[in-house]
Amino acid sequence: MSHSDTIPLHSTSQSDIDEIENLINSNPSSVLPARPPSPPRASIPISSAPIPPPAFIPSNLPAPTNPKTAPVPSVSSAAPKPPLPPRPSGPGGNISASGFGSPPNTLTEPVWDTVKRDLSRIVSNLKLVVFPNPFREDPGKALRDWDLWGPFFFIVFLGLTLSWSASVKKSEVFAVAFALLAAGAVILTLNVLLLGGHIIFFQSLSLLGYCLFPLDIGALICMLKDNVLVKVVVVAVTLAWSSWAAYPFMSSAVNPRRKALALYPVLLMYVSVGFLIIAID
Amino acid sequence: MDESSSNLPTSHLLGSVPAVVSEGKAATNQEDGDAQQSTNNWKGVFSISSYTQYFNIDTDILLSRLISSLYPISGDFFSKIDANPDLYGLVWISTTLVFVIASLGNCATYLMHRRSDHGTSWTFDVSYINVAACSIYGYSLIVPLAYYFLLRYLGSNASLIRFWCLWGYSLFIFILSSFLLVIPVEFLRWTIILLSGGLSASFVALNLRSYIQESEITVVVISAFVLQMGLAIFIKMWFFA
């Protein structure tokens, strides 16, 4: 009936077509109970018949049972297919593309694909914000594809590093570092908005989080090497790097007469974090 | 100011929070038109544009207010801030003070430790940050509020924003004196803190007296002086002991 369709149907339209065909065939009492509910995978059964279904013994009954049994192996063989994309060949690929009637769904892709996509976005945002690149002077282009995973990782990493380096009150150190950075990013953004500047709230949070990356490196080096002079030098260098990374974005967001008022709190936050890094031993 | 702010590259971005951006522009436009009147663009507690009127300050004005907080004798602070009281000073001066006394307090204990050569090693005391934040923020928020209610009760015409502004700028001198308090000589530390406490307290008291014209508020003025001196002594004893 509708099994030989090659046009991918929406998942609900298949059952509608089946119902209409049943009404046209005008044998409502016997057909409806025999039809298993809804599966759009009813379009696949003949082509996937050569693949043995995992828990179903193929019956040697004649053809009339085919329409009834055929959807069942397709259901059982279609169900494991979406989470196992390497296993099927053509039919499996068709299932994920045509069975749901939409392009590959991010809900059904493997976890590693999602993680890899987010990691590559973090790396590209990092390269845009922290390292020199030609788009830096234009803050609109600099972080168009903002995300909050990167800042989250960097803040937690900094808190953990400081907590590891501390010899007493470890949990209080982590709490102070995390609260300072998270609340600090929000307050700095609010400060720019209150001074009448034009920034996007989450883009600014994202940017301030990414600019913590040099301080993360500095904290890691200070954890490994315990000399006070080395610590001061490393923290000074990474502090300058972080401030240089955040400067164009913050200064272009406000009126030039208020530039220093917007930049000073950023400097204050990074200096206080740098001081925490030096002083924790 | 409008031309340069509308030419900013970020003003045409898609995906911006439309309410904030447009309301911010509307508020600043309105400010330019009504610069001399006391505008009240209150659009609700949760809208940023209702608070931008208290942050309408430029760098040079801020610096001049900071410098004038170091000279208590002139007593004309309220006339300087009358048209445009700002809360930027309160927020960021108190935040800077919290950071400065927490970090320099730790530096001071480190230097005392090095001088007296204890057996135990010095550790960074993170609780300084907590105590500093609670005490400074609590003082600078609650004391002006209390004075506002007291003066309203006594019948004079007080303005809460101006009181917050005054007390905020009065804390600036403690930031400068904290750098000097690191010197580990006890007699010098007491001299410095009493001097700076006296300057700050007289700043508060003289400006308060010139703002309120009645005579029965002498007790109020004296109590403001005493409270500010109390804050100075608390800073010395807790953080720079």
Three-class SS of B83-114: CCCCCHHHHHHHHHHHHHHHHHHHHHHHHHHH
Test B1 with A257 for CB contact under 8 angstroms. yes
Nearest chain A residue to B23 by CA distance is: A196
Question: What residues in B contact A272, CB-CB < 8 Å?
Answer: 99, 103
Whether A281 has its CB under 8 Å from any CB of chain B: the answer is yes
Of residues A57 and A269, which shows the higher confidence score?
A269
What is the pLDDT at residue B191? 93
Q: What is the mean pLDDT of residues A112-128?
A: 88
CB-based contact B53:B41 (threshold 8 Å): yes
Test B88 with A261 for CB contact under 8 angstroms. yes
Q: Which residue pairs from B210-217 have beta carbons closer than 8 angstroms and sit at least 24 positions apart in sequence?
A: B210/B75, B210/B76, B210/B78, B211/B78, B211/B158, B211/B162, B212/B151, B212/B156, B212/B158, B213/B156, B214/B154, B214/B155, B214/B156, B216/B154, B217/B151, B217/B154, B217/B156
Test B24 with A166 for CB contact under 8 angstroms. no
What is the pLDDT at residue A48? 46
pLDDT of A5 > 80? The answer is: no
Choose the weakest-confidence range: A54-58, A255-259, A262-266, B228-232. Answer: A54-58
What is the pLDDT at residue B92? 94
Q: What is the mean pLDDT of chain B?
A: 80
The shortest CB-CB distance from B124 to any of A257, A265, A281 is to A281
Angle between helical axes of B160-170 and B127-153 (0-180°, round to 10): 140
Min Cα separation B156/chain A (Å): 31
- Token pair of B27, please? 């508020």
B6, B41, B59, B103: best to mutate for the A interface, most A CBs within 10 A = B59
A147, A194, A205, A270: best to mutate for the B interface, most B CBs within 10 A = A194
What are the tens digits of pLDDT across the range B169-181? 999 999 999 999 8
Torsion sign across C-alpha atoms B85, B90, B96, B97:
positive
What are the tens digits of pLDDT across the range A140-188? 666 777 888 889 999 999 999 999 988 888 898 899 899 999 999 999 9
CA contacts within 13 A on the Cβ side of A122: 16
Cα–Cα dist A243/A96, whole Å: 48
pLDDT of A108 > 80? The answer is: yes
- Token pair of A203, please? 């883009």
Min Cα separation A215/chain B (Å): 18
pLDDT of A67 > 60? The answer is: no
Angle between helical axes of A259-279 and A228-253 (0-180°, round to 10): 160
pLDDT of A59 > 70? The answer is: no
Whether A171 has its CB under 8 Å from any CB of chain B: the answer is no
What is the pLDDT at residue A34? 54
Question: What residues in A contact B59, CB-CB < 8 Å?
Answer: 257-261
Whether A186 has its CB under 8 Å from any CB of chain B: the answer is no
pTM of the complete model: 0.69
- Token pair of B194, please? 């009493």
What is the pLDDT at residue A269? 93
Of residues A90 and A210, which shows the higher confidence score?
A210
Angle at B57 between CA B51 and CA B62, to 5 degrees: 130
Q: What DSSP string runs through B17-66?
A: -HHHHHHHHHHHHHHHHTSSS-------TT-GGGTGGGG---HHHHHHHH
Torsion sign across C-alpha atoms B174, B180, B184, B190:
negative
- Stretches where chain B sits below pLDDT 70 are 1-41, 118-119, 214-216
What is the pLDDT at residue A197? 84
Question: What residues in B contact A186, CB-CB < 8 Å?
Answer: none
What are the tens digits of pLDDT across the range A76-97? 444 444 444 444 444 444 444 4
What are the tens digits of pLDDT across the range B19-76? 444 444 444 444 443 333 344 667 777 887 888 888 888 889 999 999 988 888 887 8
| DSSP conformation class of A96 | I
The shortest CB-CB distance from B4 to any of A195, A255, A271 is to A255
Choose the weakest-confidence range: A2-11, A268-277, B118-127, B229-238. Answer: A2-11
Cα–Cα dist A69/A75, whole Å: 10
What is the pLDDT at residue A135? 63
Nearest chain B residue to A280 by CA distance is: B124
Question: What residues in A contact B126, CB-CB < 8 Å?
Answer: 166, 169, 172-173, 176
Test B127 with A139 for CB contact under 8 angstroms. no
pLDDT of A31 > 80? The answer is: no
Q: Say which residue the tokens 């400010």 belong to.
A: B31
Q: Backbone dihedral region of B155: left (phi > 0), alpha (psi from -120 to 50 degrees) or beta?
A: left
Min Cα separation A67/chain B (Å): 51
